[in-house]
Structure 1
Amino acid sequence: MPIVNRISDLHPEITEWRRDLHAHPELRYDLPRTAGLVAEKLRAFGCDEVVPGIGRSGVVGVIRGAKGGGAKGGTGAPGKVIGLRADMDALPIEEANDVPHRSTVPGKMHACGHDGHTAMLLGAARHLAETRNFAGTAVVIFQPAEEGGAGALAMIKDGLFERFGIDEVYGMHNAPGLPVGRFATRTGPIMAAQDLVTIDIEGVGGHAARPHLSIDTVLVGAQIVNALQSVVSRNVDPLKAAVVSICMFQAGNTDNVIPQTARLRGTARSLAPEVRDLLEERIGRIAEATAAAYGAKARLDYRRGYPVLVNHAREAGFAAGVAGEVAGADKVDPNIAPFMGAEDFAYMLEQRPGAFVFVGNGDTAGLHNPAYDFNDEVIPYGTSYWVRLVETALPG
């Protein structure tokens, strides 16, 4: 079954919602306008329950099918409950686009497409609430703080799965570079664990003209950055993926003083628990030993962030099949290479079976780029995917 006809009819309206969200970006958990708009629309659509404030500022809508099995008052015995998740938050980036719907908030923009994700799930919620052509219950989950705030974990801790009885959960993200009308997913690890690396270096400060009386933390930091590149190239199994990137080097305040201290900050990414452990161990050893070789000291602060996003086998196959019904089987890659970016939907897949898919955003700027803009031509595909997923998973 291709794109849902009703979704095609709603395309202009969903596009308006998306562009309104784009023009009014909000960050992390501070989403009063976004979450309020989502809750308002879900109530207008006729959802059976609309619950704001889950995980501080998340919004959940409950839609019970007309074919029986709907929980809490639906006809027949309680049926299966499927969760569909979209993220709502923007990024602290100054937008570079010159479009009518560009950000109206200085220093904030939807540079990752969460405006599109929210709009597509709202479109699906409207259609599902109108038709209810399924048995059981669909739960639409609008999550805050995906961009570094672990909003998924906050919603889980607030009882998301237990309160709404969710049996399976599914997520979706747009993918620049993947043509519009195509989907991609895979079984197993599909996105990486994200860990924060901070290395504090202490040497001996002094006059730049007398370096022999100092221990130069700039030199030590540079050597540590170089040495850390050996972790992936020489310590990690070549058949396993890992990334170590030092992205900040903070030292000194002027041009004639060798600084007493320096700080390196970066990220370590991995797709397997044993590789994650190895990265932490090796980064610490290399930093300490390299600093010691120059007479300095180094201390590693390694903070584990989002875990590996692991798709469950049955659910990933099911999601690929549904995507194939919408776009055509030849437009779905069921074995895409893993992406080393991170995604806090991983926490949800640690709690319930489910799958994460990518939907093509076409030839656009990349994610987190100030020139990025969600491609509105994606809307019929992503929205139809959500609708078909519910109707196929809960046929009655």
Structure 2
Amino acid sequence: MVDKDIASDMRIWRHDLHAHPETAYTEFRTSELVAARLAEDGFAVHRGLAETGVVGTLTTGDGPVIGLRADMDALFLDEKGALPHASCHPGKMHGCGHDGHTAMLLGAARQLARTRNFRGTVHVIFQPAEENEGGGRRMIEEGLFSLFPCDQVFALHNWPALPLGQFAVNGSTMMAAFDTFEVTVSGRGCHGAMPETGIDPLIPAAQILLALQTIVSRRVSPLSQAVLSVTQVHAGDTWNVIPDSAVMRGCVRSMSSDVQDHIERHMSAIVRATAEAHGATATLRYERRYPATINTPEAAAEAARAARAVVGDERVDCDCLPSMASEDFGFMLQHKPGAYIFMGVDDESHRAALHNPLYDFNDAALAIGASFWVELVEQLLPS
């Protein structure tokens, strides 16, 4: 386990970060704190990748090179809890636990710098803009792995569905790909009392919405996980006017590029044909945001071994089911072998789900997560 003073430091850092949440590419205060702590501990510090990204490097001799990644950004969400360290910024909060992820990796970095019980190089990667904006992809595009070569790269995420002190990982797909879509149906507006004089876009829009739900239920094999959700519908702004157009937006989750291709193709056909059947036109804008997060089997086994050393064999699930949520660490795993692992945080005082306005990272998990990072480094880079 990490030293007691470091455990205390992590709690202070975490509460400070929670009180001052910063969203995608505006993590300026957060990156200042991260860079200052790393410099204090003797890390070489690089700043500026993806605007606010920070990479700290510690080398103790010739040997393997690994990367450990933590995300730093907060959500656009109003916090509803009455915490003493609640958000000072209305409309923003650390509702996904990235404050805890940052504090844990900083604590591990301090412990590694203090003990130096490894031989090789560790890059600690503090990434901005994980939520929706693809900060991991941008760091890679701006030279992350050319500036900081890694043999393997790892990340963890707190998981309220798991009890505190447990870990879960598998050797394949951990999280789904994340795609977004926008359907615009165009007709011809008219008076609501005289619909025959126009082309009502709401009728085909409604039928498109329902038909899209048949793609997963009737066009995708039940053995292939997929989710298609329409999350927004916008049309018109008064009671007695049929509008010119209607817009729907939503997201698609899947576990493979083949299923992505299949869903996009069927969406396009449904949107076009349904609109045409009603004399309207429609367009589909489909964006592939994040790839699936797919672990390397060997790296997943190494992560599980480190987790077992920290919490015991019986508290590590090495064959967990994947989540239909998504994570832009998938971009890093497209470029480097590695693994993504879930860490439990649930206890009697911490039951709120991720992205919930009552969520607060469980401080009792800080020492566990930091100890996992230290154990992983010492196992992969034996001195």
Runs of 4+ deviating beyond 4 Å = none
Does 2:249 match 1:256?
no
Q: RMSD in angstroms over aligned alpha carbons?
A: 1.0
What SS class does the counterpart of residue 356 from structure 2 fall into?
Answer: coil
What SS class does the counterpart of residue 163 from structure 2 fall into?
Answer: coil
Alpha-carbon deviation of 1:5? 4.9
Residue of structure 2 equivalent to 1:181: 165
Residue of structure 2 equivalent to 1:146: 130
Deviations, residues 14-73 of structure 1 (Å, cap 9, x unaligned):
1110010000011111111000010001011121x11111222100111123xx31xxxx
Alpha-carbon deviation of 1:257? 0.7
Note if contact 2:2-2:370 (Cα within 8 Å) is conserved in structure 1. no
1:97 pairs, out of 76, 81, 91, with 81
What SS class does the counterpart of residue 194 from structure 1 fall into?
Answer: strand
Gaps in structure 2 of 5+ consecutive residues = none
CA pair 5-43 structure 1, distance change in 2 beyond 3 A: closer
Deviations, residues 307-361 of structure 1 (Å, cap 9, x unaligned):
1110001001111111111111111111111111111100100111000000012
Does 2:30 match 1:34?
yes
Q: How does 1:150-229 map to 2 (within 5 A)?
A: 150-229=134-213
Alpha-carbon deviation of 1:221? 1.3
Q: How does 1:1-396 map to 2 (within 5 A)?
A: 4-6=1-3, 8-47=4-43, 49-65=44-60, 68-69=61-62, 79-362=63-346, 363-396=350-383
Distance in 2 (CA, whole Å) between partners of 1:219 and 1:377 is: 53
What SS class does the counterpart of residue 368 from structure 2 fall into?
Answer: helix
Alpha-carbon deviation of 1:378? 0.8
What SS class does the counterpart of residue 352 from structure 2 fall into?
Answer: coil
Note if contact 2:2-2:111 (Cα within 8 Å) is conserved in structure 1. no
Amino acid at match of 2:254: S
What SS class does the counterpart of residue 177 from structure 1 fall into?
Answer: strand
Alpha-carbon deviation of 1:206? 1.0
Across the two proteins, how many residue pairs are aligned to each other?
A: 380
Deviations, residues 64-104 of structure 1 (Å, cap 9, x unaligned):
23xx31xxxxxxxxx21010000000011111111100000
Amino acid at match of 2:49: I
Distance in 1 (CA, whole Å) between partners of 2:238 and 2:352 is: 37
TM-score, structure 2 normalization: 0.97
Distance in 2 (CA, whole Å) between partners of 1:371 and 1:221 is: 35
Note if contact 1:288-1:299 (Cα within 8 Å) is conserved in structure 2. yes
Amino acid at match of 2:69: R
Distance in 2 (CA, whole Å) between partners of 1:344 and 1:201 is: 31
Amino acid at match of 2:57: V
